[in-house]
Chains A and B, each alone.
Chain A
């Protein structure tokens, strides 16, 4: 089985600050990490590898600096790594990104694709499912457990708001991982040494152009327009009424709502 995990390099949000004037992230000097859900995806893939002897390939689309994220994935135990990179791809939104990644995945080959649920910088949770759609694959998002790995299918548990679904899915397929799926392992020292002995294969525009909708890549081809980024307003502390009856509580709430002309 060939498992391909898609990862994104993101700024470490623990250290990220927002410019109060522009409302954008200050990325200077902020360390980059593998997006958390994607790292969970790597761990899940590595566990399948340990159980079944599958191979794990890791793919990232990004600038050349994303190299270190791929090395980290190799150091955790992934077998090979691809960087999808090209000036033509810069500024891509989720639609454009998933199109490019789908084309890259076709080239790489796969039996199972795992992506993280969403990235901590954009928080859209769109790229994974869009890749699945563009490749015409069955997919399960919000996977919190992989219960069975067989030659032609998987049985997975999908988290739901008020419960879960147990789903049998035919391979090839795509899963999106949530944190509950697995706690990522540390890299090992030996893994790091070997990660830098391996080659990271670059997939560029020329390699993919026959499989791309050329007017749907990069900044120009992205249908999303960011209207405005802003920081959430800080709200004041609410009023807490203790030891009141239900009637008194209702009266107090009505009075407040009335005073603010909400009702």
Chain B
């Protein structure tokens, strides 16, 4: 067993780190305050290949592995968790559905522009009445009599990236009587008539990310936009989410490590009772505990990513890394704000943003409770 990154992974990590420091750090706070993601930044991320990391070069992707993708998620999220989720939803939810379930033609037509950096994707599963219980989806897709197109009606909520996405993966019922077994997945374009993206939903954290309600009103979708077969939608969604959780685990590690790095810098400078607070054992022990947990979380993320790269059964490992890392992100960012005291709480320093951003990691792409369902389900209890 070797815990060392390869030379390729190390150079990628350096690229991600430099990119985040140079391009994202100066604007992260402003994007959070404005609750708007920078389109200029999206373009720069695309140019550096950060929107298609674990996809084959055959389809225009970057040809790197899932471990490299987690490195990107960590480095971006250290500086800005909103960037993390923007990349994650595009990469491990939208692209993954087409990559794993699309036909050759669908991959050439829809995956290529997503992974070569020309288009952005999103993933519409959650509805006002269907969260963890995805079987509650009410959006419907009705096949036309001549079999050439589906008509989609319904409303999705919390669709990340929807404000600027070009490609929408949408889950809808093709057979209402079958519940989740009647669910199917479709590839939609933002230009399709009847697809309306609402305003950005006001949130506690990851405020720069785009997260809107999307209405589908009589949207006519050509039949060749169906992914796999009718009724495969639930399986497609769960497969994508299993992979997505590794990314969220990495995002959690990034949020925590980013807050820790800021705190370490601060405690060396901040003087109280005549010395830098880094000299107090309380500070040292607290930081030691936090770093240990972040390292443990990172190793779990890497383990899940390597398992996915090796085509092993990674679903429980992904759930474990997300469950643990998201908990660590919340604990560590709270601890960092506490160590920095009033300044930590102030919006002058980025740790309060990290603490707000951390909360969502326990909720999206499967709540911590859902993770426990997946993990316990794999334990043959």
Could you tell me which A residues sit within 8 Å of B by CB distance?
68, 71-72, 75, 185-196
Contacts and interface: CB of A to CB of B under 8 A. Distances in A.
Interface string B1-36: 000000110011001001100000000000000000
Contacts of B7: 68, 71, 196
Contacts of A186: 15, 18-19, 44, 47-48
A72 B47 CA distance: 16
A249 B53 CA distance: 65
Contact of A188 (B8, B18, B48, B68): B48
B11 A190 contact: no
Q: Is the interface of A mostly helix, strand, loop or mixed?
A: helix
B62 A187 contact: no
Q: Is the interface of B mostly helix, strand, loop or mixed?
A: helix
A190 B63 contact: yes
A68 B7 CA distance: 9
B64 interface: yes
Interface in B324-366: none
A187 B63 contact: no
B57 interface: yes
A193 B53 CA distance: 10
Contacts of A188: 47-49, 62
Contacts of A185: 47
Interface size class on chain B is: 20 to 34
Given A193-B62, A193-B64, A187 B47 contact: no
Given A193-B62, A193-B63, A187 B8 contact: no
Nearest to A71: B11
Interface in B280-335: none
B50 interface: yes
Given A189-B68, A192-B15, A193-B62, 4 more contacts: A68-B7, A71-B7, A71-B11, A187-B15
A192 B7 CA distance: 9
Interface string B234-274: 00000000000000000000000000000000000000000
A189 B15 contact: yes
A186 B72 CA distance: 14
B140 to A, nearest CB: 39
A261 B12 CA distance: 60
Nearest to A196: B8
Interface in B36-83: 44, 47-50, 52-53, 57, 61-64, 68, 72
Contacts of A68: 7, 11
Contact of B62 (A71, A189, A196): A189
6 tightest A-B contacts by CB? A189-B49, A188-B49, A189-B62, A190-B62, A186-B48, A196-B8
B48 A192 contact: no
A72 B8 CA distance: 10
A187 B11 contact: yes
A189 B72 CA distance: 10
A74 to B, nearest CB: 10
Nearest to B12: A192
Contacts of B8: 192-193, 195-196
A54 B61 CA distance: 25
B330 to A, nearest CB: 30
A188 B51 CA distance: 11
Contact of A190 (B18, B19, B44, B49): B49
Contacts of A195: 8, 11
Nearest to B71: A189
Which residue among A71, A188, A192, A196 has the maximum number of chain B CB atoms within 10 Å of its CB? A192
A186 B22 CA distance: 11
